[in-house]
Structure 1
């Protein structure tokens, strides 16, 4: 059945016929995308026209007009119907009766309706007062009634818009900016709002409004396809959820992907991101052009006044040196920036004599000049470079490599320039391996960017550290490539090492430099993972890092790359605490690389404070606590803003079963976050049986202030003697704060890190972070009959990544089979 047949059936059968025809249209498997939206709009047009004709018999000077998305014919399955009943000011009772005949059938079918009843004068006045109303009227479309009345309104609204554009376009731009700040960038969000986020359907509509003003126009390449793709995704979202929603929630992405015939949710997100990137870039270019046009219009009256006042100066508006009489630059002056590259009117453009077809380095030279000057690259220049530039030879000439390093080292302006190159496909032409990471989502709440944008953000962060290293060029290139392996299966660091080696050689680095870049990419997570998950007092820990890094120069570069990578990941990935741990590890590794042997922790004597607490615990027979603020450090500067480092919590208690889960449980009850935990047994004085267990923990308040040591001690005494039921207290709190519906965390995973230490067995736990997690782990390990020597706790977003150094009863590492059995038992406990 054709759309015309469906429309005719709906008109003949009234509301019931329309509902049935609508349902059949939405469930047809052969029709989707623009054809279905058009058919749905035509079906709705016919039904509403029938309602209008039946209700407006004998009534002149009225018209039914579709506005907004419905006016554009973009009806998704659950879209609102935006309608205006236009009248010439005739009988108000007859108009009101007609409105009732139109609105109530729509409501009866459960359709969302945005409606108004106005005269043309009222509509124009309301549009002048409310920008959103004016934008909706720009897409006004006649549905039924007086065609001339609707046409006059549309013509008047467009004329008003063009006349008021110099005042209204800045208002529209501000509206878009506020929405972007509120909703975020569509091209990076894991649960994006397809309509409201930056680069979404609202921005695409704003670009149509700018074009209607005749002041500027958006780059049209790919824009229509991007808009269509987002509309297709919204259609599928409406059909799978049965709701009028624009938010693409995680739990619905697989269904939406299946509805669209896509492989999986990642493929869906990548297509959404690509569309959003096109719209966002078009918005940036368009608003820049709007600003340029409005500035030039503001200058013209002043120039005319100057001409009248100076008379004959009008004939000499520009002097022989190319400057205006007043000393200012003429609007069209071109200032040289580099060979073949000039600045004109606030943009970087190609010089008239530039020949991209003869100069393969010109694209990188122009990009580097733009980033260095903090200027945008002209889209026309980029388009010309993409169309005519020669490919670079392999290996690249030295100038090309230097220009790439200059571009990467320019800081924040690099992002905008890189996006301009990507918009015309120049990045994948320069670096073919970039295609696999372009717009690739990262399903990890710690990451705030897609893979490709994260790589650029890391280079931006690394640019601030180039004064700290002897080879800033290697740092910047490694920053650009460190996650390049995420487009391939398996460990992205291993795959990335192979790709980075190839890319570094292709862009012209020598063999030794290629090896350094490959090492940095292979081990870009080594320092932070070791510092937060391994015992730095264990000599094997420091030796293994020193062997992997190899030289002091590589260690220096890896330290800077680690910090840049973490800062570019997101707020949860870096902190003053992590910076301190990494700096401590780097200092120890540097000492080993200089020929010093790492200290043996067994030889380390307890501090005076530790001895004092141990003696008091022996004397009193119970736990003794001390809270001490951790010293501030220059590492705060690397975290962006000051952050409290927490406190050191020292606990001494006569050795007995259940100490670890008891302490962890008490801290969880008091809402204290554990960052590290070290446990050490100190022998009692000669002649006294037993020992004192010393716990050295780093903790921070989840919120509020830290509890008093006396309260912690009292609860610890009760936890150790069994009068404080930690598990029940934590269960009560969990019940009071139910988890978010629809969020399914991946199951916990427990593994044994073979050969990580010769002094203990290292068990790694990866699980969803939750209050009391360390308590549950400690209780399970206690039940397995192992002793915990130290714990290294790290939380990344919603994920806990913890490492426990455990031994058997005699203080030796566990045999392989026993270690695996403990790991399996712990994993089963956490899954329960």
Structure 2
């Protein structure tokens, strides 16, 4: 066995039997093993050649599937020397299947390359001599140092970090651990800047954060058998098991490390996020005092936010020893800070770090870098709260992209709306319902901040019911008067409803890019209009005020589709919209099991259902409206595919196409996907004239067909179906009756639950 093979075997052994320390310890082990392998395999190499480790190999921070960055430093570049170096050093690495970043250079060539490439220059900052001529390597280091003295790298490092932040203005949980915002590359940049500028900052916190991220990165490499760096949903559980942690603990470790690096970057480059003031004076600015007096910490923070800058070291020193005292003026300063969320969250995080928030506010710091385990959430909890503020501000702008929200917001107190957005999920992080917990926290927080009486009571109520509109609109029959009555009783008054409606939109938009679709917007607007009318109504009319189930255009479209008599198995379609989401209306004769056939044929043609609304006319004509997307890509769904779908649906209805067999064959070509990580939950509740079955489970190919088939096989009728897909999680709600129109019997509930459990593999 050659020495390079020995290194490869050591790497494999780490995967199956990792050391106790799974961050830098692995890097040290791999780097030392590779050093030994290279030295042993190049004993006959010309002594004028030097092997220089670069990148993570040079820093001794290699991960399991890291590339090997290696430079051969030579006195000359003769063809014979180059051939010898390639044959002796690089070919054995390539033959072992290792990915190698390679170069052969003289000292002069290395410096020239560094002048032309900032990446090359940075790689030489942590270069390490593996074997060869120490004098030549020292010469290289001296030349690099001289180059940096002439051309300092601080501004270039800051610009690269600004680009990383521009790609993710709000920190995310599915971060690329290597190149993402405040990831390993950011930590390296901080170290490079400190190394070249002579900074004496304490590096222990940064070192610990890097070690934690290296451990998580190694877990991704080990459990995927390749270099994967993005902490996306489908890799998390396996990676956590390799680390001996729960998934939540692993995500929390990564988020705390990322936040630590974010803070180190702020300290290293205080002007990193500084922007020029917009010239627009905040409507929340406190009135100037009549006589000069010492300003407060929260006033300084608000002024910094309005100036688009971070707090200075002197301001933070003061914040580290003082506590806030809350009166109307200081609450006004807090509202001013909240009103600038993009820079405000970073200023507030500075105050968290020095302990001011714990001493002055108390019940907020538990949200900092707190992971959210629901698969559709993009951000840790505190960032989600700040982004919700930003989304609320967009809704209140005169030309908001959401229909009619700015007009509605003009009647409300913006100060209250932004504060509500900032605290609505404050109950997360505890082992109980976060809405109820958040309401209780708000009661204590209100007392602390001096927010009392009706205003505090309204905040508490809104936090407790902040999911009410979204959940009801997407999971309940909003044509049922009892549903509207229930929501109206929960809300209480029109102004609370208006605030709740705006919070619902801002919360969904801040959760993730897939959480607020036009489909969902229409449903929530319609529900709002009905509840508003029940509560006495406002003078502002919702665009969907008169919409009982479909809007006027849809009503006319449906009437045109059913005005002529339908053949026995005839199918008529209407297809509107544009990529990535379309609306597909299917009209045909209704019969038991129809929905399972329709959704099955959709799956056959790679049409993914994102939402569904069903209706059956008195003449027993099904008018089913689906929000659909291309199941394979974000490309358009062309008319040819829709025509093929219609043809196969007619064949299936006539019995000449076996949908189940066709789906089973096709399913074998699909990955089970992210949905395998979602636990199945089934909830059964009574409703007016029906039984509601709500199923939360992992989304997968053919799921909706299987659920509808389970219902049909139990001998039940689907009165109404609502389908929602949130990332890898499917939430499907069915209003069911017995075939005689009565509520589902207890025996059938048990049978259906068993069938659904079998269909979902739970």
For residues 647 and 19 of structure 1, the distance between their equivalents in structure 2, rounded to whole angstroms, comes to 53
Out of 309, 314, 330, the residue aligned to residue 376 of structure 1 is 309
Give SS of 2:432's match: coil
Report the CA distance shift for 1:143/1:439 in structure 2 as closer, same or farther (over 3 A).
same
For residues 417 and 526 of structure 1, the distance between their equivalents in structure 2, rounded to whole angstroms, comes to 32
1:168-207 map, 5 Å: 169-177=154-162, 188-190=172-174, 192-207=175-190
Give SS of 1:572's match: coil
8 Å contact kept, 1:664–1:774: yes
8 Å contact kept, 1:457–1:568: yes
Alpha-carbon distance, 1:588 to partner: 0.9
Alpha-carbon distance, 1:367 to partner: 2.1
Which moved further from structure 2: 584-593 or 405-414?
A: 405-414
- Asked which structure has the greater CA Rg, the reply is 1
Any gaps of 5 or more consecutive residues in structure 1? Answer: 1-12, 296-336, 342-352, 631-641, 683-690
For residues 724 and 90 of structure 1, the distance between their equivalents in structure 2, rounded to whole angstroms, comes to 70
Name the residue aligned to 1:453: 383
Residues 296-346 of structure 1: CA distance to partner in whole angstroms, max 9, x if unpaired?
A: xxxxxxxxxxxxxxxxxxxxxxxxxxxxxxxxxxxxxxxxx98999xxxxx
For residues 435 and 446 of structure 1, the distance between their equivalents in structure 2, rounded to whole angstroms, comes to 23
For residues 38 and 499 of structure 2, the distance between their equivalents in structure 1, rounded to whole angstroms, comes to 68
Out of 211, 233, 237, the residue aligned to residue 228 of structure 1 is 211
Name the residue aligned to 1:760: 690
Name the residue aligned to 1:739: 671
Give SS of 1:485's match: coil
Give SS of 2:428's match: helix
8 Å contact kept, 1:85–1:99: no
For residues 615 and 137 of structure 2, the distance between their equivalents in structure 1, rounded to whole angstroms, comes to 80
Name the residue aligned to 1:548: 490
Name the residue aligned to 1:442: 372
For residues 442 and 477 of structure 1, the distance between their equivalents in structure 2, rounded to whole angstroms, comes to 21
Name the residue aligned to 2:148: 161
8 Å contact kept, 2:298–2:324: no
Matched, 1:72 2:56: no
Name the residue aligned to 2:542: none
Name the residue aligned to 2:403: none
Name the residue aligned to 2:714: 784
Out of 255, 265, 285, the residue aligned to residue 283 of structure 1 is 265
TM-score by length of 1: 0.75
Name the residue aligned to 2:476: 534
Matched, 1:131 2:118: yes
For residues 90 and 111 of structure 1, the distance between their equivalents in structure 2, rounded to whole angstroms, comes to 25
Alpha-carbon distance, 1:39 to partner: 6.4
8 Å contact kept, 1:52–1:64: no
For residues 105 and 21 of structure 2, the distance between their equivalents in structure 1, rounded to whole angstroms, comes to 37
Name the residue aligned to 2:616: 680
8 Å contact kept, 2:304–2:311: no
8 Å contact kept, 1:527–1:559: yes
Residues 218-269 of structure 1: CA distance to partner in whole angstroms, max 9, x if unpaired?
A: 78572232223223444555566665554556566456545655x4122122
Name the residue aligned to 2:681: 749
8 Å contact kept, 2:42–2:88: yes
Residues 365-399 of structure 1: CA distance to partner in whole angstroms, max 9, x if unpaired?
A: 122222234x111341453134222x235xx3222
Name the residue aligned to 2:595: 660
Alpha-carbon distance, 1:692 to partner: 2.6
Report the CA distance shift for 1:130/1:533 in structure 2 as closer, same or farther (over 3 A).
same
Residues 518-566 of structure 1: CA distance to partner in whole angstroms, max 9, x if unpaired?
A: 1111111110111111111100110000011111111111001001101
Out of 380, 394, 397, the residue aligned to residue 327 of structure 2 is 397
Name the residue aligned to 1:301: none
Name the residue aligned to 2:633: none
Name the residue aligned to 2:73: 86
RMSD of equivalent CA atoms: 4.4
Q: Which has the higher contact order (CA 8 A, sep 6+)?
A: 2
Report the CA distance shift for 1:91/1:718 in structure 2 as closer, same or farther (over 3 A).
closer
Name the residue aligned to 2:755: 825
Name the residue aligned to 2:460: 518
Name the residue aligned to 1:649: 585
Name the residue aligned to 1:801: 731
For residues 446 and 731 of structure 2, the distance between their equivalents in structure 1, rounded to whole angstroms, comes to 33
Alpha-carbon distance, 1:147 to partner: 2.8
1:263-662 map, 5 Å: 263-284=245-266, 286-287=268-269, 289=271, 362-373=296-307, 375-389=308-322, 391-393=323-325, 396-465=326-395, 467-594=409-536, 616-617=564-565, 623=570, 625=572, 627=574, 646-647=582-583, 649=585, 651=587, 653=589, 656-662=591-597
Alpha-carbon distance, 1:516 to partner: 1.1
Any gaps of 5 or more consecutive residues in structure 2? Answer: 277-284, 397-408, 539-544, 631-635
For residues 64 and 249 of structure 1, the distance between their equivalents in structure 2, rounded to whole angstroms, comes to 36
Which moved further from structure 2: 245-254 or 113-122?
A: 245-254
TM-score by length of 2: 0.81
Report the CA distance shift for 1:354/1:120 in structure 2 as closer, same or farther (over 3 A).
farther
Out of 603, 620, 623, the residue aligned to residue 692 of structure 1 is 620
Report the CA distance shift for 1:535/1:219 in structure 2 as closer, same or farther (over 3 A).
farther
Aligned residues: 721
For residues 72 and 123 of structure 1, the distance between their equivalents in structure 2, rounded to whole angstroms, comes to 19
